Amino acid sequence: MTNSMIPYSFIPGTKAKAGEVNANFVSLANAIEQNMEISAGDIQELREILAGKANSEDLTKDFVVNTAGTNLNNYKTPGNYIFTSGYTPTNIPKGSSGVLSVLGTEPKIKQVWYSDGSVPDIYVRMWSGSSWGNWVTNTISKNASNLGYIKFANGIIIQWGYTTFDSNSTTVTFPIAFSANPQICFGGHASSNNIYAIGALHTGRSTTSFTAHGWKVSGSLDCACSWIAIGC
């Protein structure tokens, strides 16, 4: 039986001719060399494919959007889309500028919005094949100071502050706006020299501010109070 790579076969116990043995070795060496050439060609072809993919226009790219009012619902092509405040899109979850990343292809597409500004929240939503889901965020934002806030991923916001007023009332502005009127609690401060200030009432509650009313029991210093507001 003859192998395609070995031209001669031998019968056990029978002397082999030197020429036939040499021919078998030559044939085998040629086959090995040929296979090495094929493998090298395959490797080079693979390298060219990878190089082509690395330079492919289909891969994620950055785009600077220079048209105002474009609808984020229409962005389904993978890429990063940069929006400045002069070209604010519609259907954004927050802010007037930021970066939109689009990932995936039909029927599952993900949009990720990175908002600019002092509270750079990150929002995500999914395309189900027929409609966009709601924007959601897992970002917790905070500003821990005398006038501060913390914003949880579920949308709950807690804000706090300290204010003084030299008359019976003052307007307190929240560090960030609520989406609905919050619940507010505050109280007056007692100073170390027995000068007492009482804050007992608030009016004009809104998503951005409220008016605190207070009066002094004794002394000549300004009234002062701490407050806390909770909402979403």
The whole-angstrom separation of Cα 221 and Cα 201 is 19
Enumerate the domain spans of the chain. 16-56, 62-137, 141-231
Please give the model's pTM, rounded to 2 decimal places: 0.45
| Residue 225 reports pLDDT greater than 90 | no
Which pLDDT score is estimated for 197?
57
Q: Are 216 and 196 contacting, i.e. CB atoms less than 8 angstroms apart?
A: yes
> Per CATH, which fold does 141-231 belong to?
Immunoglobulin-like (2.60.40)
Q: Are 113 and 105 contacting, i.e. CB atoms less than 8 angstroms apart?
A: no
pLDDT, the chain, mean: 79
Q: Which of the two residues, 19 and 112, has the higher pLDDT score?
A: 112
Which pLDDT score is estimated for 217?
64
Residues whose CB is less than 8 angstroms from the CB of residue 5 and which lie 6 or more positions away in sequence, other chains included: 27, 28, 31
